[in-house]
Structure 1
Amino acid sequence: MEKELENLSKEDLLKVISSQQKEITDLSKSSSVKDEKIDYLESQLAMYKRMQFGQKRERFEGDPAQTMLPFHAEPAEVEQQQQEVKQKIEYICKRPNHKGRAKLPAHLPVEEIEIHPEGDLSQMICIGREITEELECEPAKFYIKRYIRYKYAAKDKSAVAIAELPERVIDKGIPGASLLAMILTGKYQDHLPLYRQKQIFARENIQIASSTIEGWTRQALEKLEPLYEQLVFDTKAQGYLQVDETPIKVLDSDKKGAAHQGYYWVYHAPLEGTVLFDYSPTRGGIAAVPMLGNFKGYLQTDGYTVYEKYGKKKEVTHLACWAHARREFEKSLDNDKQRAEIALLMIQKLYAPERKAKQENLNAEQIKELRLVESLPVINELGKWIFQEIKNTLPKSQIGKAMAYAYARWDALSAYLYDGNLLIDNNLVENAIRPVALGRKNYLFAGSHEAAQRAAMIYSFFAICKKHQVNPFLWLKHTLENIMSINHKNLKDLYPQNFKKSAGL
């Protein structure tokens, strides 16, 4: 519901709020209206107001009564401002340096600039030196890599020899691996659309057509297909997966003038630290069949009904997410603050052992024992409280929905106690999805269903880079340079986590 409301314009959302207020007023005047309906509408109205006026994101609205700024300031004001600027500059120049500045990275190259006092130093001796360091940078440097291959011929002209060209990412194309890595990292990691990157090239007097850059991007992504297919195979073999999905708009040739609502299905393997994005045109259950059709093990998801089918399979143990349960009670603070706070405090107690386990770096067995001692009693107490309170709660109220959400998934919410390797919530897979949300705000949509799937490949590997603290540009450059010549048996050496080990990072 909230995802759909986020797509409404401000005017439409205000209309919804106004409509809800009017309906509440009308219903309150009618003696035959049930309290349940009023309570439900009030909770919905509170949610709409929180979406419109709350702190979910900053909103700026100009003041229509604000006057226009003058085109010119008075001469006296200009002179006064200039004097203030002069005094400010003099103060900044005399102000002592901050003593607590951060240390500069030791791995960076150093350019040394020696400065000697002015005047005649022939009668003086050097007694020491003072060193001051600054962190500087140069903009991206473009250069041409030119391969010159010499030809040799036998004296009798019976044969000619010439060296082979190194493997190139795009055969007969002009971009090198580092340029392609920069373009892909810019778009999919730093959320910089291709047209903005074209502007960067133009500032360096490098004119490249938009269609050319798009072609380079497509061809570079296609080179990653074998590695992505290996990732799909390895992900299917995992025994513990977290799953979530997120929308992506896609231009569809069958829907002229409109974008199709597609979805990225994201599979996170916590034990291996890998992430897989898989594109599907639909959010229906059939989209997960390729990955979950034969899945066996622990499956952790939110409350989306599609996952229930897979969670009920005999070979699957379905885990729910305590973060989602907590959010439902958080929404209830405007509806029933007293009971919502009771639930939130108990859920907060469940997270205390998780923090303790992380701080003390406990192993799986120790985590399981800690949870049985500290978390299980809290779960039992919260379960009994919900069982008692839900009987006296209006089902359509927000607090009623929160209780029903947890009550219906109680076994799945408690299942993380089975093994210390299991996580209490689905937050890690949600974190992996965030770059997609940022990216689609910049480039808005994928050009086709095929383009969306190609983007899924690079999103997968960049998410793994982030989890293993690997520089995505360096990894992608290395991979593009080697993926065409590497032995297929060693293909997994190109995974970001394995690249980190081989590079000694």
Structure 2
Amino acid sequence: MAALTPVEVANLLDTKDREIVHLRRRIAWFERQIFGQKSECRLPEPEGLQGTLGGAFDVIPEDTLPPKKSKVAAHEREQKVKNPTELGDDTEQFFDESKVPVEVVQVPNPEVEGLDPEDYEIIGEKVSHRLAQRPGSYVILKYVRPVIKRRDTQVISCPPAPAGVLDGCRADVSFVAGMMVDKFSYHQPLYRQHIKLGDAGINVSRPWLTRLMSRVAALLEPIFDAQLASIRASRVKAMDETPIKAGRAGPGKMKPAYFWPVYGEQDEICFLYYPSRAAKHVQDALGLSPPGDAVLQTDGYGAYEHYARVTGITHAQCWAHSRRKVFDCRDVEPTHADLALDYIGALYAVEIQIREKALTGHAKRDYRQQHAKPVLNRFFNWIDQQFDKHGFLPSSPFLGALAYIRERRVGLSVYLDDADVAIDTNHLERALRVIPMGKKNWLFCWTELGAKHVGIVQSLIATCRMHEINPYDYFVDVLQRISQHPASLVNQLTPRVWKQMFAENPLRSDLHAVDRRGNIGRE
């Protein structure tokens, strides 16, 4: 074998070094998946305090403190620390009496057996509660309509059946609302709900449930469109994309597609379905006429930067995604990665102080300028120094993470000058979590139309959650109201506006009146 030249040796060593870095990174990732924590939470250990496994504490947790002792005549007695999660604790009311039916069970006192009521008196009572469940919560509403014949005119008449959400459908609005909430909020696919119905003695077909869901989602589409229009009018918006499988690509195969969630400044979100991750879908979702002084906050995907150049809006970027790039390098370059994470942590510490002080508007902006901007400038100066030192291989993942951050300096600095812009897109990440959580249950959408309907319903439910609205109450009301509501005022039925206008006195199902009469008799 011929001897290698110095240049060939150098090239070989460089190739091996790159391969070693790549393999170390892969091994570290696999070790973290098997043995480590998946969370990016990083808590530096305070000096002089030994933390517990998995993280450190600013203060010692209650359950690690030594038990309190009380002195009695002959010895010291330990006081048990009350655990609020004890299963037998019934000292506090754990349910809302206005929402939960209460069945009263009278417990006889064995001491009065055989006694005449005049031989004792009841001087009080003690009450305890237990959480119970019936095998099924489904109810059949039996509408009895009398057919009458007038004696004077001999005319026979019968009142019409009450109108339903869908003409000729045997599903009450309460069932439709419950079906949607079970599927999209509690992640119970329709096939599981079908099994549950069968166990409760209800005999319906699975295709019937599927058709019912599709028709109801179509009814809600105008409300979805109105909410999307409200989001488009927002000055500050956040946007992301998350994959989904929808539509058949062949036998046993589904097409890859995407939901593009858009979050408005009034805490509204819409999940837009598109068949790909192409840049044109950003334009399709937001339009080419954004409001003046608009800001779009996203991750580092180039499609958003392209849209910002076309429309002239300000493009803010996300510090959480930048932090994640650095965090993924901790196993390969722990010392340098921790220094970078300390800088980013200082920026987040400023945001915590702003929340604690409840600062808004100009006060919030001034506080960021005074406390966060110097940290950010020092961080980018430190990044420049790392590149000048050339202490890393070109293939170094840590160098790649720093390059990712340095290239986005302008977008990462936008939040310093605009109080309405967040430091990251975590508010959007939390809201879109329902999609990946749901995919673990329903896996895919059989058709593209089905994916669109998933986006419609999830948009309304996620917005309800953000505004602390019970999605069941919202759907029961809106599904009865939508056929009578003027089309020009459909924005009033979006969750945010609905809460202001109708939440105090929502429309109910006939089941609600039946339950109230039954509860009065049972309590």
Aligned equivalent of 1:47: 29
Instruction: Please report how far the alpha carbon of residue 155 of structure 1 lies from its aligned counterpart in structure 2 after TM superposition.
Output: 7.1
Give the 3 Å change call, closer, same or farther, for CA 32–207 of structure 1 in structure 2: closer
Select the residue among 141, 156, 165 that pairs with 1:144: 141
Select the residue among 342, 345, 353 that pairs with 2:342: 345
Instruction: Please report how far the alpha carbon of residue 344 of structure 1 lies from its aligned counterpart in structure 2 after TM superposition.
Output: 0.6
- Report sequence identity in percent: 27
Instruction: Please report how far the alpha carbon of residue 315 of structure 1 lies from its aligned counterpart in structure 2 after TM superposition.
Output: 2.8
Aligned equivalent of 1:56: 38
Give the 3 Å change call, closer, same or farther, for CA 154–437 of structure 1 in structure 2: farther
Give the 3 Å change call, closer, same or farther, for CA 418–150 of structure 1 in structure 2: farther
Deviations 1:9-66 (A, max 9, x none): xxxxxxxxxxxxxxxxxx9995464644533443344234434554339xxxxxxxxx
Aligned equivalent of 1:255: 250
Q: Is 1:198 matched up with 2:194?
A: yes
* Secondary structure at the counterpart of residue 344 of structure 2: helix
Q: Is 1:436 matched up with 2:435?
A: yes
Pick which of 449-458 and 232-241 moved more. Answer: 232-241
* Secondary structure at the counterpart of residue 241 of structure 2: strand
Select the residue among 241, 255, 259 that pairs with 1:245: 241
Provide the rounded CA distance (Å) in 1 between the counterparts of 2:254 and 2:285: 26
Instruction: Please report how far the alpha carbon of residue 129 of structure 1 lies from its aligned counterpart in structure 2 after TM superposition.
Output: 2.5
Q: Residue 355 of structure 2 aligns to which amino acid in structure 1?
A: K
Aligned equivalent of 1:63: none
Structure 1 residues 83-482: aligned runs within 5 Å: 98=89, 103-107=94-98, 108-117=100-109, 118-119=112-113, 120=115, 121-138=117-134, 139-146=136-143, 148=145, 166-252=162-248, 255-269=250-264, 271-294=265-288, 295-296=290-291, 297-313=294-310, 315-391=312-388, 392=390, 393-482=392-481
Provide the rounded CA distance (Å) in 2 between the counterparts of 1:231 and 1:32: 55
Asked if the contact 2:147/2:156 (under 8 Å) is kept, the reply is: no
User: TM-score, length-normalised on structure 1?
Assistant: 0.80
Asked if the contact 2:282/2:307 (under 8 Å) is kept, the reply is: no
* Secondary structure at the counterpart of residue 342 of structure 1: helix
Provide the rounded CA distance (Å) in 2 between the counterparts of 1:110 and 1:265: 44
Q: Residue 216 of structure 1 aligns to which amino acid in structure 2?
A: L
Aligned equivalent of 1:14: none
User: TM-score, length-normalised on structure 2?
Assistant: 0.77
- Higher helix proportion, which one? 1
Deviations 1:162-199 (A, max 9, x none): 76655422211211111111111111111111111011
Instruction: Please report how far the alpha carbon of residue 310 of structure 1 lies from its aligned counterpart in structure 2 after TM superposition.
Output: 1.3
Provide the rounded CA distance (Å) in 1 between the counterparts of 2:197 and 2:130: 28
Instruction: Please report how far the alpha carbon of residue 298 of structure 1 lies from its aligned counterpart in structure 2 after TM superposition.
Output: 0.5
Give the 3 Å change call, closer, same or farther, for CA 96–210 of structure 1 in structure 2: closer
Q: RMSD in angstroms over aligned alpha carbons?
A: 2.9
Report how many residues are paired: 439
Question: Could you list the runs of 5+ residues in structure 1 that have no partner in the other structure?
Answer: 1-26, 58-94
Give the 3 Å change call, closer, same or farther, for CA 455–99 of structure 1 in structure 2: closer
Deviations 1:120-158 (A, max 9, x none): 15333333322223333444132124263768899779x
Q: Residue 267 of structure 2 aligns to which amino acid in structure 1?
A: G
Instruction: Please report how far the alpha carbon of residue 273 of structure 1 lies from its aligned counterpart in structure 2 after TM superposition.
Output: 0.6
Asked if the contact 1:292/1:310 (under 8 Å) is kept, the reply is: no
Provide the rounded CA distance (Å) in 2 between the counterparts of 1:315 and 1:152: 73
Q: Residue 476 of structure 2 aligns to which amino acid in structure 1?
A: K
Provide the rounded CA distance (Å) in 2 between the counterparts of 1:495 and 1:177: 18
Asked if the contact 1:201/1:207 (under 8 Å) is kept, the reply is: yes
Aligned equivalent of 1:68: none
Provide the rounded CA distance (Å) in 1 between the counterparts of 2:350 and 2:169: 56
Asked if the contact 2:190/2:209 (under 8 Å) is kept, the reply is: yes
Provide the rounded CA distance (Å) in 1 between the counterparts of 2:170 and 2:400: 59
Give the 3 Å change call, closer, same or farther, for CA 420–285 of structure 1 in structure 2: same
Deviations 1:244-264 (A, max 9, x none): 111111132x53331100100
Pick which of 316-325 and 118-127 moved more. Answer: 118-127
Give the 3 Å change call, closer, same or farther, for CA 48–228 of structure 1 in structure 2: same
Give the 3 Å change call, closer, same or farther, for CA 38–202 of structure 1 in structure 2: same
Instruction: Please report how far the alpha carbon of residue 459 of structure 1 lies from its aligned counterpart in structure 2 after TM superposition.
Output: 0.9
